[in-house]
Amino acid sequence: MTSARPDFADASSRAALARKRAAGHTLPRSFYVDPAVHGVDVERIFSRHWIIAGHVASIPRQGDYFLYDIGYESIVVARGENDAVHALANVCRHRGSRVCVEEYGHSRQFVCPLHGWAYDVDGRLQSAPNMPEDFDLSSHGLPTARIEVVDGVIFVCLDDGGDFSPVRRDILEYLAPYDLVDARIAYHRRYLCPANWKLVAEIFLELQTTGAAFAEMRQVMARAEAAAQRDGETTRRYAEFAAAWRATARLPHERPTRRGDAPAIDYACRREPIAPNFVTQSEDGRAVAPLLGSQSESDGGVTVIRLLAGWIVACSDYAAIVRFTPIEAQVTEMDVTWLVRSSAVEGANYDAARLSWLWRANVERTLKLASDNQLGVNARRYRSGPYAPDEAALDAWVTWYLGRFV
């Protein structure tokens, strides 16, 4: 008789698995391949943490909505009266059917397809056919999730999620010059990566901290080229270039990556220079769209904001929102949205292919690297390996993750 596989429902089994990870090493194989671990990740990480859901440009009119699914949970993000944005559980209060079935839509009411219960876009139940006359509509609205909108970017949390105010403060400070409220969607791509979300997140974090394995980042970012060269002269030249840029840059350069209070919110904000003579992250360094927000010129920098497995990258003329969502133990959705000034016109003010070049390349290269990484981890001969000194950010992130996993 074989013993049952652990489902990690109790803290002791999760802690026992976490203890198998040696300090400074990658995670044991189960963390990347086991469906039971995937279930814990969805429940304890994604359902309890603030995540980037999208941008208000996806729902410009009252009654517009989109769906964002996290595990078994489906969230309706809708534009209501007075431009309020709501996050509603997509579960009818009658028999539990999905109320909205299309990923994007527009409706004055959300009507359940099973028995016609109708809800306002803020979740209030408006009618419940065939129920008694004394049925209390007011106590049967759609459940809500926590929601915050910061400079047009929509953040949601299915649970308590912790105090969002420090995150809001820092994000507002870093995004202020770009005025992403006054932005429109210029381009959108979605991919399914056959890899665990943590492998995807680690590789993308490495892209952002060194970038040495990403040819396009080396072409655009002086820091990535210096990390790839690994010689004293290149490092010295980059340090001088970065110091000169910091002396004239308009925004703060770093914020603490994590807060120490439990439950910690995993986020980071930073600005850094692009490459010498580059005004934006484009293939040739030249502008690809009109300047965003209040900027009169580019200072040659880029703003990078990370929240768990979501990223906001803002240049002087465009921004990209990158969102990674676990679908299965070895499937991750990779969603990328590019934003430009709301008045920009495709063909006249920007070309979508040129605009999206870098982050299409980065996400597609991440997809390939993570897919190959997953194939290797799937092998029974896989063993956790040590992080190198320049992978300290990955080690710190994995340590944070284990604290939430347990």
Whether 229 is in a domain gets the answer yes
Residues 217 and 73 both lie in one domain: no
Among 147, 176, 193, the domain-final residue is 147
Show the domain range for 141: 51-147
Whether 25 is in a domain gets the answer no
Residues 232 and 111 both lie in one domain: no
Residues 312 and 186 both lie in one domain: yes
Residues 55 and 202 both lie in one domain: no
Q: Spell out the residues 6+ positions from residue 260 whose beta carbon is closer than 8 angstroms to its own.
A: none
Below-70 pLDDT ranges, the chain? 1-6, 253-264
Q: Spell out the residues 6+ positions from residue 78 whose beta carbon is closer than 8 angstroms to its own.
A: 59, 63, 64, 65, 85, 86, 88, 110, 121, 122
Residues listed for the chain: 406
Residues 70 and 198 both lie in one domain: no
Among 147, 173, 193, the domain-final residue is 147
Q: What is the pLDDT of residue 6?
A: 60
Among 112, 147, 182, the domain-final residue is 147
Q: Outline where DSSP puts E strands in 71-132.
A: 73-79, 85-89, 104-106, 109-111, 118-120, 125-127
Q: What is the pLDDT of residue 3?
A: 43
151 in Cβ contact with 160 (< 8 Å)? no
Q: What is the pLDDT of residue 249?
A: 84
Residue 217: strand, helix, or coil: helix
Q: % helix / strand / coil in the chain, to the nearest 5?
A: 35, 25, 40
Residues 117 and 259 both lie in one domain: no
Q: What is the pLDDT of residue 212?
A: 82
Residues 143 and 169 both lie in one domain: no
Q: What is the pLDDT of residue 262?
A: 40
Residues 140 and 216 both lie in one domain: no
Whether 63 is in a domain gets the answer yes
Residues 281 and 183 both lie in one domain: yes
Residue 235: strand, helix, or coil: helix
The domain that holds 343 is classified in CATH as: 3.90.380.10
d(CA 173, CA 153): 14
| Phi, psi angles (nearest 5°) of residue 373 | -60, -45
Residues 136 and 215 both lie in one domain: no
Q: Which two tokens stand for residue 9?
A: 């429902």
Whether 31 is in a domain gets the answer no
Residues 171 and 302 both lie in one domain: yes
Q: Could you tell me the CA-to-CA distances from 53 to 146, 317, 322, 388 in Å, in that order?
A: 12, 22, 10, 33
pLDDT in tens, 250-285: 777 665 544 444 456 899 999 999 999 999 999 999
Whether 382 is in a domain gets the answer yes
Whether 152 is in a domain gets the answer no
Residues 110 and 235 both lie in one domain: no
Whether 1 is in a domain gets the answer no
Domain count, the chain: 2
The domain that holds 110 is classified in CATH as: 2.102.10.10
Whether 36 is in a domain gets the answer no
Q: Which amino acid is at 297?
A: E
